[in-house]
């Protein structure tokens, strides 16, 4: 069977299933459904508009918006017009967005709802045009509504060259400027059918619910790309206020989320059913919880993008909800490792290669390396960085890891995050952070301590933790610190705990994909920490 591009899958469904619903957009819990015929008509009109601009073939066209029904429509239109999409995270700061627009030489940006919408002009570069899509509340050069009203549908159905680039996805930039990951049209055709099988999407009716940004490679592949290869409808969310009712209404058969959402789910249930009472729940009651979370009919539930606290993952497993780790990256089209070979995942472990075409090895330095058909063509306009991350065809992830006796992969941290104390001992921060994850009053963790006698922990509080009186919380954390220090070697014992305000994208402590900016966090708090060294074991710091 020949490899099909996403564009060819679009051609198939517009011909074979024009009356089938593909996209669902809510407004105050009322759903507007769009069939393939409607989607096709809009895609072709927007493509005609882009082609009419006379841009050189392969020009970069940006999308800066939260998820909505227009996102995949615009994405397909960019492909059909012969250009290359450049997604921008909804939480991206204007400085990074301007860098991406400059670096990619983007001609135009489709704008919807996003955090910095009011400051869009600060990010635009000279000559860029703007088009309003769903959710846009600012002035733009034109809008999708106007384009759809004015342009005739583009009639042709060109088949792209498999080796042409269809998207440049810029990394979130934990350090330095974002890098543009180039992926070819053939990549989804090689990768997504295997993901469809791994995610059990061949087993019956599929319903997808899109909540995380499609600008993130994982959501775009797990939701948008799989939808195109199995013809599955996608339902979107209007926002946090209605999210719970929306996901309960949809009951998706596949759902992917990042650890922060799983933590919120758990906290919501704990607030209604005290943790002590949960031990006596029946199987029927646990199924009721799954249904209330919108996961009652999910055949495959995936967590990724960052480590999920093991106590949180264990909580879901105890409720009969098989929350599985997935491990991949933008550079390999998330064609990596997941817990797919059994319905009994082990918390903290990411499992085995997603299919037989994925090869994984651990280098002599302990680094996880990949080889698969999902590997990027390279970083856009950056051959030096491209060369740095490849070793004889193997992609070097920068993550450290190990295989257990069953052949399952464990991710143990970032090679670059290991630091050395003043005693000359190397510390792997994620190992210690995972131990503190057992306390439900804590939310985010960052162990630091380069050059200090002992590592220290920076942590934020969960909603439950914020409700605990400070002195009681201080005593509890002091006991937790002693308990954990009794479990680890002397050189790993955490000297002090520092409770700090929440880390967010807005305060620059997290990347747009919710990863810790460890260097930023350390630079912000290190002066205060150094003033407190040798003092109380549990401390409360201001931002």
CA distance 395 to 530: 38
Residue pLDDT, tens place only, 80-97: 999 999 999 998 989 999
Give per-residue pLDDT as tens, 124-166: 999 999 999 999 999 999 999 999 999 999 999 999 999 999 9
Tens of pLDDT along 389-440? 999 999 999 999 999 999 999 998 888 888 888 888 888 898 899 899 889 8
Residue 238 has pLDDT above 70, yes or no: yes
Task: Look at residue 412 in the predicted model and tell me its pLDDT.
Answer: 84
Helix, strand, or coil (residue 210): strand
Residues paired with 327 in a beta bridge: 337
CATH fold of the domain at 20-160: Rossmann fold (3.40.50)
CA atoms 296, 300, 305, 306: torsion sign: positive
Does position 1 have pLDDT exceeding 70, yes or no? no
Rounded CA separation 243/503 (Å): 22
| β-bridge mates for residue 181, sequence order | 169, 379
Yes or no: say if 401 and 366 are a contact pair by the CB < 8 Å rule: yes
Distance CA 293, CA 276 (A): 20
Question: In degrees rounded to 5, what are phi and psi of residue 204?
Answer: 155, -160
Which contiguous run of DSSP H or E holds residue 248? helix 240-250
The DSSP code for 455 is -
Q: Is the pLDDT of residue 5 over 70?
A: yes
274: phi then psi, degrees, rounded to nearest 5: -50, 140
Which range is most confident: 249-258, 428-437, 518-527? 249-258
Q: Which residues contact 73 (CB under 8 A, 6 or more apart)?
A: 23, 39, 42, 43, 46
The average confidence (pLDDT) of the chain is: 94
Q: Which residue has the higher pLDDT, 174 or 102?
A: 102
**Listed residue (404, 293, 395) closest to 335, CA to CA:** 395
**Mean pLDDT, rounded, for 303-325:** 92
Q: How far is the C-alpha of 67 from the C-alpha of 91, rounded, in Å?
A: 12
Per CATH, domain 208-415 is 3.40.50.12780: yes
Rounded Cα distance, 450 and 408, in Å: 31
Q: By three-state DSSP, how is residue 338 classified?
A: strand
Q: Where are the beta strands (DSSP E) in 171-294?
A: 180-184, 208-210, 234-236, 254-257
Question: What's the whole-number mean pLDDT along residues 489-513?
Answer: 90
Residue 410's Cβ-side half-sphere holds a number of Cα atoms within 13 Å equal to: 13
| pTM, rounded to two decimals | 0.86
Alpha-carbon distance of 304 to 260, in angstroms, equals 10
Q: Please give the CATH number for the structural domain made up of 418-540.
A: 3.30.300.30
Can you tell me the distance from the alpha carbon of 462 to that of 20, in angstroms, rounded to the nearest whole number? 43
DSSP code of 415? G
Rounded distance, CA 300 to CA 200, Å? 7
Q: How confident is the model at residue 278, as a pLDDT?
A: 95
How far, CA to CA in Å, does 145 sit from each of 67, 88, 112, 150, 189?
17, 22, 13, 9, 32
Determine the pLDDT at residue 174. 59
Which pLDDT value is given to residue 528?
92
User: Is residue 250 very low, low, confident or very high in pLDDT (cuts 50, 70, 90)?
Assistant: very high
On the CB side of 32, CA atoms within 13 Å amount to: 11
Domain spans of the chain, in order of start: 20-160, 208-415, 418-540
| 208-415 matches 20-160 in CATH topology | yes
According to the 3-state scheme, what is the secondary structure of 29-91?
Answer: CEEEEEEHHHHHHHHHHHHHHHHHCCCCCCCEEEEECCCCCHHHHHHHHHHHCCCEEEEECCC
347 or 425: which carries more pLDDT confidence? 347
Q: Which residues pair with 210 in a beta bridge?
A: 236
**What is the rounded distance in angstroms from the CA atom of residue 374 to the CA atom of residue 358?**
9
**What is the DSSP track for 93-151?**
-HHHHHHHHHHHT--EEEE-S-TTGGGHHHH--TT-EEEE-TT--S--SEEHHHHHHHP
Question: What is the pLDDT at residue 175?
Answer: 62
């Amino acid at each position: 069977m020949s490899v099909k591009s996403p564009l060819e899958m679009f051609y198939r469904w517009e011909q074979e299933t024009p009356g089938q619903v593909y996209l669902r957009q809510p407004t105050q819990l009322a759903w507007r459904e769009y069939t393939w015929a409607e989607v096709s008509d809009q895609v072709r009109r927007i493509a005609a508009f882009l082609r009419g601009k006379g841009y050189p073939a392969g020009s970069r066209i940006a999308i800066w918006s939260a998820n909505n029904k227009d996102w995949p429509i615009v994405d397909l239109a960019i492909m059909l017009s012969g250009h290359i999409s450049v997604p921008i995270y909804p939480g991206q700061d204007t400085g990074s967005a301007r860098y991406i627009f400059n670096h990619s030489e983007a001609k135009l940006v489709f704008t919807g709802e996003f955090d910095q919408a009011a400051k869009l002009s600060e990010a635009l570069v000279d000559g860029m045009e703007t088009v309003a899509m769903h959710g846009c509340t600012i002035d733009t050069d034109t809008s999708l509504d106007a384009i759809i009203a004015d342009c005739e549908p583009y009639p042709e159905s060109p088949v792209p060259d498999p080796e042409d680039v269809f998207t440049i996805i810029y990394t979130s930039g934990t350090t330095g400027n974002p890098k543009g990951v180039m992926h070819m049209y053939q990549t989804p055709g090689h990768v997504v059918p295997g993901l469809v099988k791994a995610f059990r999407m061949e087993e019956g009716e599929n319903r997808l619910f899109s909540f995380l940004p499609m600008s993130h490679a994982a959501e775009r592949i797990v939701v948008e790309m799989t939808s195109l290869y199995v013809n599955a409808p996608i339902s979107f969310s209007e926002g946090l206020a209605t999210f719970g009712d929306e996901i309960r209404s949809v009951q998706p058969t596949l759902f992917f989320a990042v650890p922060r959402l799983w933590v919120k789910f758990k906290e919501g249930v704990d607030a209604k059913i005290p943790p002590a009472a949960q031990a006596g729940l029946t199987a029927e009651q646990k199924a009721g919880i799954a249904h209330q979370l919108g996961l009652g009919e999910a055949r495959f539930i995936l967590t990724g993008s960052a480590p999920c606290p093991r106590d949180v993952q264990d909580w879901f497993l105890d409720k009969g909800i098989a929350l599985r780790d997935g491990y991949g990256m933008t550079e390999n089209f998330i064609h990596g490792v997941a817990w797919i070979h059994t319905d009994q995942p082990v918390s903290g472990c990411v499992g085995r290669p997603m299919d037989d075409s994925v090869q994984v090895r651990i280098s002599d330095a302990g680094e996880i390396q990949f080889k698969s058909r999902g590997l990027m063509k390279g970083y856009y306009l950056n051959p030096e960085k491209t060369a740095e991350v490849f070793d004889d065809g193997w992609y070097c992830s920068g993550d450290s890891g190990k295989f257990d006796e069953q052949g399952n992969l464990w991710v143990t941290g970032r090679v670059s995050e290991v630091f050395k104390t003043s005693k000359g001992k190397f510390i792997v921060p994620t190992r210690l952070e995972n131990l503190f994850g057992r306390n439900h009053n804590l939310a985010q963790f960052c162990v630091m301590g380069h050059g200090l006698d002992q590592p220290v922990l920076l942590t934020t509080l969960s909603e439950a933790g914020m409700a605990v009186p400070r002195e009681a919380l201080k005593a509890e954390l002091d006991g937790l610190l002693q308990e954990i220090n009794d479990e680890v070697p002397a050189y790993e014992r955490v000297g002090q705990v520092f409770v700090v305000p929440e880390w967010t994208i807005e305060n620059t402590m997290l990347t747009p994909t919710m990863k810790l900016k460890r260097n930023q966090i350390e630079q912000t708090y290190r002066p205060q920490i150094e003033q407190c060294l040798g003092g109380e074991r549990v401390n409360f710091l201001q931002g």
